[in-house]
A = this chain, B = another copy of it.
């Protein structure tokens, strides 16, 4: 049975990428060797890493603007710590926007290293909206926000202008919509939503902002160390980086972020329209802040749960369960999700 994979992450990847990835495990670049068993310093693999880093800057429109792209390990969770290690000066201050579970985790880790203020929070309403019109405290070293909240289904549509370095966790919506990425000084993203499989973390950092905290930074947590070694300070996560490169190439061939944004808007509009017009369903996020990546909704009548779940299962719809902390449903419709799968979901919603 054809499956429609709405998993929130790790999540759907393009079929042609999966095919090439599978082939590489048996025979990479016709070397008669597996990608998994060659040196990361061999020319064939160095070319993969170089291409992946280059594609990131090209797709984000950041070439020649003083940025470096790194493929690290540890997920966004380790970036919560690295952000503070690299950017929070001793006795300095950072401001965080608290828009969900992942923002809260970022705040917790940063607080271990210094003074962190919450610029605004939407926790009062279960994180179902994005705060606006807040002020960043004076003398803030950096402002940190989460562009898309996977669990709560909200997304920042307009980023604030701040008089501080701009740091953004874009784990779940990077490469999904056009933004002026040069307004950000540090962007990071776990690969396993819109870029690749679990196991690598993308970091895009403006090089000129580094080296100013007066901290002793452990090597593995120091962006400057990774930049100086072309993202190969130690053995990189070879396969996850390769699959990310393939996905970035797929996106470029498709027309880049401009092209995928149109498709993403079509998918999101189709699904939100159904939620708003079908009396069996109700969206959980405030309308103006709705995510185009993670569509969260609930049944208006819980007694229909079994019937809806059965319809979904019979149609091959997978991964629709809401996050264990909030319940309900969540349809993750990342870049690689075909329109056809969203149409199938809408058709199932109409059958209920």
Chain A interfacial positions (CB closer than 8 Å to B): 1-3, 5, 7-13, 18-19, 21-23, 25-26, 31-34, 36-41, 73-78, 80-81, 105, 108-109, 112, 190, 192, 196-200, 216, 218-221, 233-240, 243, 316, 318-319, 324
Extra 6 A-B pairs, beta carbons < 8 Å, given A74-B220, A198-B238: A7-B39, A18-B25, A19-B26, A37-B197, A76-B234, A197-B239
Contact of A77 among B18, B112, B199, B233 (CB under 8 A): B233
- For A216, what are the chain B residues with a Cβ–Cβ distance below 8 Å? 112
- A235 surroundings in chain B (CB, below 8 A): 9-10, 75, 190, 192, 198
Min C-beta distance of A332 to chain B, whole Å: 10
A177 CA to B63 CA in the complex, in Å? 50
Question: Which of B12, B37, B76 contacts A7, CB < 8 Å?
Answer: B37
Decide: A243 near B36, CB < 8 A? Known: A3-B31, A78-B74, A112-B218.
yes
Contacts A9-B39, A26-B22; A73 near B237 (Cβ below 8 A): yes
B-side contacts of A233, CB under 8 Å? 77
Contacts of A9 in B (CB 8 A): 39, 235
Residue of B nearest to A78 (CB): B220
Q: Are A109 and B219 in contact (CB under 8 A)?
A: yes
Q: Assess whether A37 is in contact with B25, with CB atoms less than 8 Å apart.
A: no
Partner of A26, one of B1, B18, B37: B18
Counted per complex, copies of this chain come to 2
Q: Of B38, B190, B237, B318, which one neighbours A33 at CB under 8 angstroms?
A: B318
Q: Can you sample 16 A-B contacts with CB below 8 Å?
A: A3-B33, A7-B37, A18-B34, A32-B316, A36-B243, A73-B75, A74-B220, A75-B234, A77-B220, A77-B233, A80-B220, A199-B240, A237-B237, A237-B240, A239-B239, A239-B240
Q: Are B23 and A36 neighbours in the complex by a CB distance under 8 Å?
A: no
Contact A237 B198 (CB under 8 A): yes
CB atoms of B37 and A12 under 8 A apart? yes
Give Cα distance in the complex from A71 to B238, angstroms.
16
Q: A219 to B76, alpha carbons, bound, how many Å?
A: 12
Contact present for B34 and A13 (CB under 8 Å) = yes
| Known contacts A197-B36, A197-B239, A238-B199: A25-B26 contact under CB 8 Å | no
Q: For A37, give its contact among B11, B73, B200, B316 (CB under 8 Å).
A: B11
Chain B positions within 8 Å of A198 at CB level: 36, 40, 235-239
Kindly state the separation between the CA atoms of A308 and B319 in the bound complex, as whole angstroms. Answer: 55
CB distance from A87 to the nearest CB of B (A): 15
A7 to B45, CA, bound (A): 13
What residues of chain B lie closer than 8 Å to A200, measured between beta carbons? 199
Contact indicator A10/B33 (Cβ below 8 Å):
no
Q: Are A199 and B239 in contact (CB under 8 A)?
A: yes
